[in-house]
Structure 1
Amino acid sequence: CKIAVTLGLSSMQQVLDNLSDLPNSSGAKDLDLIFLKGIIESPIVRSLAKAHERLEERKLEAVRNNNLELVREILVDISPFIEKDSTVAELTGILREPHFQSLLETHDSVASKSYETPPPSPGALMDSTFNNQPVPPDAVRMVGIRKTAGEHLGVTFRIENNELVIARILHGGMIDQQGLLHVGDIIKEVNGKEVGNDPKVLQEMLKNASGSVVLKILPSYQEPHPPRQVFVKCHFDYDPGNDNLIPCKEAGLKFSIGNILQIVNQDDLNWWQACHVEGGSAGLIPSQLLEEKRKAFVKRDIDVTTPSTTGALCGSMSGKKKKKMMYLTTRNAEFDRHELLIYEEVAKMPPFRRKTLVLIGAQGVGRRSLKNKLIMSDPSHYGTTIPFTSRKAKEEEKDGQMYAFVSRMEMETDVKAGRYLEHGEYEGNLYGTKIDSIYEVVESGKMCILDVNPQVLRNL
């Protein structure tokens, strides 16, 4: 008994159903029928049938690949009935929708397998654009955005070869979150209207637009670079509303002295994109270079001298004499004092518990007084060890307050055993800092402040 290779799962099931209905007069033996039924119900045979069906599965083919032309013909045919029938007017609006047109264009491209043709190089595309030559239809993209009136898109523009090009995309803004536009894209139209070459007019047009906004663009095909994590501490106040140099005041970021900002983009030499570490959207801030130039700029001092009595009709103008000074290495500290502080780069560190704080300095610089001031400023956070001594306690002294009193023999034994961080002898008595006392301060939940000799730091 053989089974045809072309037998599919549905046919196999039909054969099984017919086997039980075979009459006895067919001449088939019961043993043969059982054997045939076992073969058909075998998992291996069914798996082979499934694989065969998958390999023989016919691919779907598009009915036609010129639907866009067909829709245009339909629009021409129904145009006389637009004013007479509301249904025709509604259908016309749907067929003229940019999204529907793009869908048909994509379908026709896939159906005609035009996607197999490699796209033109960006250089050739940009050259043809700037030379006012016809742009390939497949190079134009339609981007749809939904927004409310007055909502900022988080994008700025510049003029490049008499075209409006996206200069920057603000991190965290609407355009950045959608990822539909990129730096370098050329804006051609907004809702079917040409944008011209004035960035301010385009900004106002986009700001006042509401609902669905359709942009016609020429892509730049530029790969974005991953941003580098940079955090800075600000050393000046900044309000974009008072800045006449910023390209877009609404895109600026206000900050104060001491604020920590995360720099998310430094591609522009004059304007960086940053956001507060506490959260919020990104905005433009002046770069280090721009702010240094702005703060270092000093207007020239002018003196108007009185006209001389010898007959000069107009007062002569002469600049003040400037004091010239050579740069000397010995005056280096004086020059450093006049260095401009704009931004200070900082690092984001995870919080961790600091067990000890060691004050290091020369003898007599005030380490002990500094330690006492720190402890008095926050006794619940800072603490210190009690020194051990072998001298006898005075009448007003109590053990464990200013000193911990032990015998000389006990102290010498602990010193030999390495239980002291440092020790010394004064007027025949031993003094020292015990390591266990440091652990006691740390285990109490406080930071232990030490003013020990720098040579013992290797033991900590």
Structure 2
Amino acid sequence: MQVCFEPGPFPSLTKNDYKAHDKLEVHPSEAESIKSVVHRAETLKLIEELTPGDHDAEELAAILYDINLQSLLWAHDEIAEKNFEEEYETQQLDSPPPPVFSSIQDSVRLVGIRKNKNEPLGITVKLDDNNELIVARIITGSMIAKQGLLQEGDIIKEVNSIPVQLPEQLMDIIKHSNDSIMLKIWPNLQRQSRKSDVFIKAHFNYDPYKDRLIPCKEAGLPFKDGDILEILCNDDANWWQARKVNGDSIAGIIPSRSLEEKRKAFVSPEYDYSKSFFCGFKRKKKIKYNTKNNKDYDKCEIMIYEEVIKMPPFQRKTLVLVGASGVGRRSLKERLIKSDPTRFAAVMPHTSRAPREGEVHGQGYFFMEREAMEEDIQNEKFLEHGEYNGNLYGTKIDSIFQVIRSSKMCVLDVNPTSLKVLKTSDFMPFIVFIAAPNSDVLRKMYENGRRATGYKRGGRPAEIKSEENFLEMVEESMQIEQVYKSYFDLTIINDDFNQSFETLQKAVDELSHETQWVPLNWVY
């Protein structure tokens, strides 16, 4: 009504409202009946005596059973009887308000549903603690959800006038029924509606038609690794209701985190259909970790779902490139920094070796005494470190922060075991996995690179690699993807260096003008 009293295109409507108001003040109308609730109950009794299948009667019953209409009729009778006395002083604050209806029987309702052979009803049922058959879940966007006549927690007493007590009975009756279904419902007066604001990023592929545990395959929601899902209900221990954020509004059920974690624990990786492998490759043999790396790989947690939040465009603090040795990540890093040195910068490494002739501390390397460097490594001041020709080399964490404080994006090419340390709000990384193509493409790229450099590298003859070297590179790349895939924001298959660079550059540029889904713990 507020719009009627605002200046604008409704002057006649405002005038009529004032006339109606004045008339009612002079000649107030009296209610024709003070027994609307009684008339409603009598009407429902007549409807129940009719032959089942009368659609007009079913529609009228559904209207009369509506909780809002019942409240309106009760309020009408109370006002008509002029029950305006305030009794709030006699009620205790912690006691519930008096019930509107005398008993639950008075609010039992009939719900008519029209079946569609090409569309599931959109509900799941279960037995509650009192062995009552209740509506466990209503799929958002389904036919029943659009009708709005059923609520989660409603108790189903009859289907087409046949009493039901078990989910199997309900399914059997619905299966053999005609186009229309009539449910007799007892409402759950304790239910509470709630809005979910939980969003997750999936880290595996899911196809409900391949899931032997899902209670109803048609109600399942398929999704792919990297999809953002909104969790609508996670009350069930094994199955959540969700929908895709960037897809249509149709919702479905997905396995809960605990269920999928149990499944991953018992399913061997080579038989897990949810794993994806790039370049169309599938392992023909089981990948075995190198003994020296077992400890590092074991530290990596299996990620099923990651809770995320949508953020406005912003520039990440670090760009992290990971990939197998020799796949080209270092060349991509160097080319990106050269393309815009005012925006990107690398970290200067530390070393324990003595400076060579002409070398200056802070230009190319930070030189340290071995004992001091070992102490800093022991105190976890290095992101990663290694030893070469008897000398220590490493990337210090303070050096990363120094680049960040210079308002440049710190570009890192690191061992994947460092990702767990980096994926925090302190570093806010954009992590790109540089994947190896198949061995034939690797061989051609390597030969082209050798020819372009005159078969030399660093002034020395370039190393000649064998077919076995390329196969090992592919296997290492697949191994990294399998273990650390949940950390990646982007995967680039480096089968063309120029194209890979353009893809990387475009992805980094988009961070500054497109919204981003980031881990929730970066914000809270």
Superposition TM-score, scaled by structure 1 size: 0.49
Q: Which has the larger radius of gyration?
A: 1
The structure showing larger relative contact order (alpha-carbon pairs under 8 Å, at least 6 residues apart) is: 2
